[in-house]
Amino acid sequence: MHATTPTAPPTNELQDIFGDRMVTGGAELDRVSRDESRAMPEGSALAAVFPESTEEVSAALGWANRHGVKVSVRGTGTGVSGGALAYAGGLVVSLERMNRIKLIDPVNRLAEVQAGVINAELDRAAEDHGLFFAPDPASAEISTIGGNIATNAGGLRCISHGVTRDSVAALEVVLADGSILRTGARTRKNVVGLDLTSLFVGSEGTLGVITSATVRLKPIAPGIPRTFRASFPTVEDAGRAVTAIVNGAQTPEVLELLDARSVQIIETYKPSGLPADGCALLIGQFTGLQAKQAAGDTAQLCREHGAREVVIAEGDSLLEARRLANPALNAQGLRVSCDVAVPVGELAAVFRGIEQIAEQHGRTISVVAHAGDGNLHPTVEAEDTPQGHAAAEVVIGDITRLALKLGGTISGEHGIGLVKQAELPWQLDEATLHAQQMIKYALDRKNILTPGRGI
């Protein structure tokens, strides 16, 4: 007997709902089938739909659940872990058209937004009310609120304001069977039932599809921000300075670190007068009425820890180098990067270990870091061949194991997705993995939502 190919389920019901907001092939389907990761889709999706309401997401998931069709969920596709890749014969649910800011409540410092709202656009809308949205990933100008919540994204301001979870008050979520769930409250205090909001934040589309969120806003600090840039002879010296700053009396709004190789790549990409003497850079910013004094005190602390040069400026100009890191590294061509985190006190040790790994493998590794919270993004330069890629992946594995050895984690903010799926057992024991899978089963009996990824 010959094996038969499963018959694709009829899509006429989806066509009736979405009309020209459903695609079944061509460039548009290809576009929404990928993210920014180094992983590739396993095959072509059956269709992609572009809902504009929670009810339309509900209808799409209800259809997929009835027919046992795998679902991938995306915003603008800025993820780097492979979580939004399309499944062969699957359904892509793109939330990019759910981009409405429904309400900004300056009295209670809240905003209600659809999942497809761009992070930076919410921040600018809040600014009109003297407020800001604290989560600030490097991709803030193009990434969506829903995607940032689904991965519990971090960013430059984490040291002062926490990760995305700390800014989420309530969620609207569509479960796998199409039912609509609402979590949390607009109040500061809420101890009614289980904390389902935290369960869905960081769940990477495996438990439900976040369609709307109520998020917390903060008042813009008075005065002029002060930014400092300190250059250090070694990245280990910079790491020790970070530990001293974090343990000091004044907490910066931003504290970022670039190793010497990253500085060189950024300066080549867009020359701006960065130090070209092989130094690592520590870049930080203070806000509020005491910003000038705090920046001056921290500059002195950097000098005491070996900084060769320290520059202080008003505003955000010195932060541009950090925001250029990703496009500069992308311009280098193929790069294999990872996202790990360690306790802040282990920064010097992890940088020393990464240098040893680079020497051991004969590979150039550049590192940028949200130094204030110990989150590193090492990038391994590799030849644009399968062999070069595979060799770089071995290096990434060694860096990840180093982070775990130092009490860290395999992902600080990018999520697990598909790229890090094999690494989960390195950090989580069998009982923990089983508990997560049982939660997944309780909410998604047919395993249609982002299966084989995240958890």
pLDDT (0 to 100) of residue 3: 45
In 179-291, DSSP assigns E strands to 180-184, 209-216, 218-219, 226-232, 254-258, 280-286
Q: Give pLDDT, residue 41.
A: 92
The pLDDT value recorded for residue 437 is 96
33-46 pLDDT, tens digit each: 999 988 889 899 99
> pLDDT digits over 299-320, tens only?
999 999 999 999 999 998 888 8
Which ranges in 305-368 belong to alpha helices (H)?
Answer: 320-323, 325-331, 347-361
The pLDDT, as a whole number, for residue 439 is 97
Which structure tokens are listed for 269?
């990409």
d(CA 217, CA 250): 22
DSSP letter, residue 229: E
* Contact of 171 with 149, CB cutoff 8 Å: yes
Mean pLDDT on 282-289: 95
Can you give the pTM of this predicted structure?
0.92
